[in-house]
Structure 1
Amino acid sequence: MSLLMGIDLGTSSVKALLMDVHGKTYGIAQQHYDIDVPRKDWAEQSPERWWTATADTIRKLFAETGANPNRVTGLGLSGQMHGLVTLDAQGTPVRPAIIWSDQRSKKQVARINDMLERMNLTGETMNKASTGFALSSLLWIKENEPEHYAAIRSIVLPKDYIRYKLTGRIACEATDASSSLAFNTRGRQWLYPLIEALGIAAALFPECREPFEIAGEITADAAWETGLRTGTSVVYGGADQCMQAVGNGVVEPGRIISNIGTGGQVAAMVADPVYDPQWRMNSFCHIHPGSWAIQGSNLNSGLALKWLKDNVLQAADFNGLMEMCAQVEAGSEGVLFLPYLIGERTPHMDADARAGFLGMTLRHRTEHLVKAVLEGVVYALRDSLELMEEQGIRAGQVIASGGGAKHRLWLQCQADIFGKPVYTTKVQEEACVGAAIVAGTGVGEYRSVREGCGQVVALDERYYEPDPRNQELYDHYHGLFKQIYLRNRELFKNWTVNA
């Protein structure tokens, strides 16, 4: 039977998955890497390190499964959104990639957003710029690193670099390109009037295609490094949120995804180009023309728990933290955590926002801090969920995804704070599976992405109902959570004194 491979280039690791066309998983391999922070507010990663990790992960997957590479008929890619990879004339990275959590481009963001308004282009981008978006980062390079800018011949997003290393072809696709801010999200093409108005060369932006189209084949060099068969078809793939939606079966309206990864998102697929007129949310291209995803984007989800584990508690693993706080009552006995360690997008779009614990007394212990971080992350996701409902988007099901779907505490916390039943799928590594389904569609194993999802994705029988004893309490604390930010917003702007 044919096999499909899905690769997800995340912020903290790359994962590779092998499955058959019916969704049976043959194996999953993973390799971790770090975010480099060379200066305050910067966040970078090495594209070459991504590639080394990806090649090693594919080889490890074949070694652990014993699968024959000749059985792999298609490979799809998923990747962290927004980041900027700059390539020179030889296809070599000019500098480290500037990734989504980077905060350096605040001045460029203001300039881009002003130009969007003056040129009346916001209805085409369906977004405003944020720090960490590829266009903002590229403008920062142009204005601060002219020698690097002069060497750039192409720009791509993170997973596009991996596809280039696999196939030798430099290109982008619509879902990820729409997260760059240099894109007409309504029309699924580069927004050249904005690009040229910013004084950026239009030639830097490569060909842009659709996720399930075949991008190329595995080259001999890539086969040697990965163990894949030369000539294996590679599809363009998509942004991780799009691929995760596919892996959760969300390829038509009616379901909302609550994802807790390094960042967090509440997302839904829509059949009309809907966007938030107050720019508190993002709208991007979804899996095929005529589909869009609208989402609230939270920067500090799993990242906040990892920060607590590594930098404060120096704990061995996440499961230990979960068990530590399992007996703490809802509301953490009054401790609230504002999770804005690297600023926040939805709903504040505020790179200056800061994190903190409030409400602590002598009674509180380590386990209260852990539970408060879990709850603070979900309060932030609830902000996004409420904004989505303001746009008239309601769904009968909330599907939990990512790390937030791996432990009952995360799941029950989401059900209680959202006040809605929370479901999970039987799928492991949803973004990898979504990428594999898209690959299967591109190479003809499925007649459509919907058919692929029907064969592969199923909801788990167990789901999590809101506990009515906790809902009123969480409503109260969520109200305080929102007020804490609003009452400190001006203070945050003056928090850091530059020497």
Structure 2
Amino acid sequence: MTQRYLLGFDVGSSSVKASLVNADNGKCVSSAFFPEKEAPIMAAKAGWAEQEPESWWKYAKQSLQKIMADAQVKGDEIVAIGISYQMHGLVCVDNNLKPLRPAIIWCDSRAVPYGERAFSELGSNQCLAHLLNSPGNFTAAKLAWVKENEPELFEKIYKIMLPGDYLAMRLSGTVNTTVSGLSEGMFWDFKENSIAKFLLDYYGISESLIPDIKPTFSEQCVVSKEAAEELGLKAGTPITYRGGDQPNNALSLNVFEPGEIAATAGTSGVVYGVLGEVGYDTKSRVNTFAHVNHSADATRLGVLLCINGTGILNAWMHRNVTFDMGYAEMNDLAAQATIGSDGVCIMPFGNGAERVLENKELGCSIHGLNFNKHTRAHIVRAAQEGIVFSFCYGMEIMREMGMDIKKIHAGKANMFLSPLFRNTLAGVSGATIELYETDGSVGAAKGAGMGAGIYSDHNDAFSTLEKLQVIEPDSAHRDEYLAAYTHWKQVMEKQL
């Protein structure tokens, strides 16, 4: 019997990862990423961040060649392709489908004034009711910056794309996108269920620049003869899924239904929950996009909470406070202090302005430190608790929007390797935490299997997802966790 494989790409800002998944048993047979050192990000001016779109193609090609050689898989054994990608980027191409300029990627902040002006002049009610967000620093505002600052180049634009759309275009020669992708760029009007014409009109941007729209799970395009020859794939292989990195992370953790939550806690942290009705935060402290399974008939919105100061604070503690021990020893040290760190509070906001705090930049600070009784165990514990408490502060906003948070899905990595972090998060939120072995490119491959009809639904696609650990809330210490969180929140809110 001929083996069937699914190919997933994950286009990040540091690398492009590729994975091959056996379509029949759901197991990943090979993964690789390029470059092995972080991909360069160009910053010609402060606050700018750009990458060459063609570099993503080069890295995807290198990753694919490695996994196909390692797994001894032939191009005609790959039956579908899925793509995950860094969100909110802007790629502009001419009518020959060649990039006109480097991509303006997610962490580029030059377009902030363009989004803020639109929010003010169009009105918060109009923007929130239709876009579910402020236009902010998202893709539409970035395009408005290009129009005003590079007018000659703007006139040459044939289509604009997100990073995942660009990789799909290089594979197929066809330009298209998804509703989920358009929503993350502020191009989708949820009230009208169509392209956000009012925002395009405000910016003076033609709707013709928006690519054709395809369902997230569908045959969006197929591998071209030229790309097949270059990559060693079979011409006509369908591309059947694409999603931004945070919706795709949720997909990878089998998070599809209202109330389900996906969390990550690397350098920065993300809580991404699914909402079953149209809703938004009036202060735009969290962002709302179309989830991968959103449709006009079944509302599935992804509510995205991002905390900049997460693992970066823990790493700072490791370098500067517990430099004589590894992370596991550091976690053991923190566990020597009691819940609430005996009154020590740390604000984890030392990695820039925090959207959850209405873009205020509070910085990291330590409160309640007593030189006669506190040790570094209290400081290390207070750092981890501060990270958890910032998550819970954002989750309160998500609950106000109508989200019933009972279960949190996460990969067993980064901060979720710390028992103290996990137990505190479960203790304060009251939610059960389930830890999985997961990966964005593997998720994209399984998304491709759903789009190609190989899997009947998401539960079928992720039936082999390995659950590594379950953490239940500690009801015996619930009051102590809540008291510690309440104290932290009171200290934090005095600084706002």
1:218 pairs with one of 217, 223, 242: 223
What are the residue-to-residue correspondences of 1:472-491 with 2, within 5 Å? 474-479=481-486, 481-483=488-490, 486-489=493-496
Per the TM alignment, residue 226 of structure 1 is displaced from its structure 2 partner at its CA by 3.2
Change (3 A) 1:187 1:80: farther
Is 1:356–2:364 an aligned residue pair?
yes
2:69 pairs with one of 58, 63, 67: 63
**Counterpart Cα distance in 1 of 2:202 and 2:236:** 41
Q: Which amino acid aligns with 1:447?
A: S
1:423 pairs with one of 407, 424, 434: 434
Deviates more, 1:403-412 or 1:166-175: 403-412
Contact 1:296 1:384 in 2 (8 A): no
Q: Which amino acid aligns with 2:472?
A: E
**Counterpart Cα distance in 2 of 1:85 and 1:314:** 43
**Counterpart Cα distance in 2 of 1:79 and 1:301:** 22
**Counterpart Cα distance in 1 of 2:417 and 2:228:** 37
What are the residue-to-residue correspondences of 1:325-340 with 2, within 5 Å? 325-328=331-334, 329=337, 334=344, 336-340=346-350
Contact 1:260 1:301 in 2 (8 A): no
**Counterpart Cα distance in 2 of 1:361 and 1:99:** 44
**Counterpart Cα distance in 2 of 1:310 and 1:45:** 31
Q: Which amino acid aligns with 1:433?
A: V
Per the TM alignment, residue 224 of structure 1 is displaced from its structure 2 partner at its CA by 4.1
Question: Partner of 2:80 in structure 1?
Answer: 74
Per the TM alignment, residue 216 of structure 1 is displaced from its structure 2 partner at its CA by 1.7
Partner of 1:326: helix, strand, or coil? helix
* Larger-Rg structure: 2
Change (3 A) 1:331 1:168: farther
Q: Which amino acid aligns with 1:139?
A: A
Question: Partner of 1:5 in structure 2?
Answer: 7
Per the TM alignment, residue 298 of structure 1 is displaced from its structure 2 partner at its CA by 0.9
Question: Partner of 1:144 in structure 2?
Answer: 149
Per the TM alignment, residue 447 of structure 1 is displaced from its structure 2 partner at its CA by 3.0
Per the TM alignment, residue 182 of structure 1 is displaced from its structure 2 partner at its CA by 1.9
Partner of 2:444: helix, strand, or coil? helix
Q: Which amino acid aligns with 1:382?
A: C
Change (3 A) 1:411 1:394: same
Contact 2:347 2:492 in 1 (8 A): no
Q: Which amino acid aligns with 1:441?
A: M
- TM-score, normalised with respect to structure 2: 0.85
**Counterpart Cα distance in 2 of 1:174 and 1:310:** 42
**Counterpart Cα distance in 2 of 1:415 and 1:154:** 45
Q: Which amino acid aligns with 1:300?
A: N
2:33 pairs with one of 14, 18, 30: 30
What are the residue-to-residue correspondences of 1:309-328 with 2, within 5 Å? 320-328=326-334
Contact 2:49 2:107 in 1 (8 A): yes
Question: Partner of 1:389 in structure 2?
Answer: 399
Question: Partner of 1:304 in structure 2?
Answer: 312
Question: Partner of 1:165 in structure 2?
Answer: 170
**Counterpart Cα distance in 2 of 1:103 and 1:314:** 34
What are the residue-to-residue correspondences of 1:113-192 with 2, within 5 Å? 113-117=119-123, 120-131=126-137, 133-192=138-197
Partner of 2:393: helix, strand, or coil? helix
Question: Partner of 2:470 in structure 1?
Answer: 463
Per the TM alignment, residue 129 of structure 1 is displaced from its structure 2 partner at its CA by 2.0
Deviates more, 1:209-218 or 1:226-235: 226-235
Mark the runs of 5 or more structure 2 residues left unpaired by the alignment.
Answer: none
Question: What do the CA deviations read for 1:288-329 (whole angstroms, capped 9, x no partner)?
Answer: 41232232321515663597499979989xx94454343223
Partner of 1:237: helix, strand, or coil? strand
Question: Partner of 1:445 in structure 2?
Answer: 454
Contact 1:84 1:156 in 2 (8 A): yes
Per the TM alignment, residue 15 of structure 1 is displaced from its structure 2 partner at its CA by 1.9
Per the TM alignment, residue 234 of structure 1 is displaced from its structure 2 partner at its CA by 0.9
1:253 pairs with one of 258, 266, 271: 258
Question: Partner of 2:290 in structure 1?
Answer: 285
Question: Partner of 2:243 in structure 1?
Answer: 238
Question: What do the CA deviations read for 1:90-143 (whole angstroms, capped 9, x no partner)?
Answer: 322222222222322232122121244278353221222222x10121122222
Contact 2:91 2:160 in 1 (8 A): yes
Question: What do the CA deviations read for 1:44-74 (whole angstroms, capped 9, x no partner)?
Answer: 3332222222211111211222223321100
1:53 pairs with one of 59, 69, 84: 59
Is 1:43–2:49 an aligned residue pair?
yes
Partner of 2:431: helix, strand, or coil? coil
Mark the runs of 5 or more structure 1 residues left unpaired by the alignment.
Answer: 490-499
Contact 1:215 1:235 in 2 (8 A): yes
Question: Partner of 2:233 in structure 1?
Answer: 228
Per the TM alignment, residue 11 of structure 1 is displaced from its structure 2 partner at its CA by 3.4
Question: Partner of 2:207 in structure 1?
Answer: 202
**Counterpart Cα distance in 2 of 1:160 and 1:59:** 21
Partner of 2:355: helix, strand, or coil? coil
Contact 1:416 1:471 in 2 (8 A): yes
Question: What do the CA deviations read for 1:387-411 (whole angstroms, capped 9, x no partner)?
Answer: 1222232143221247457624443
Sequence identity percentage: 28
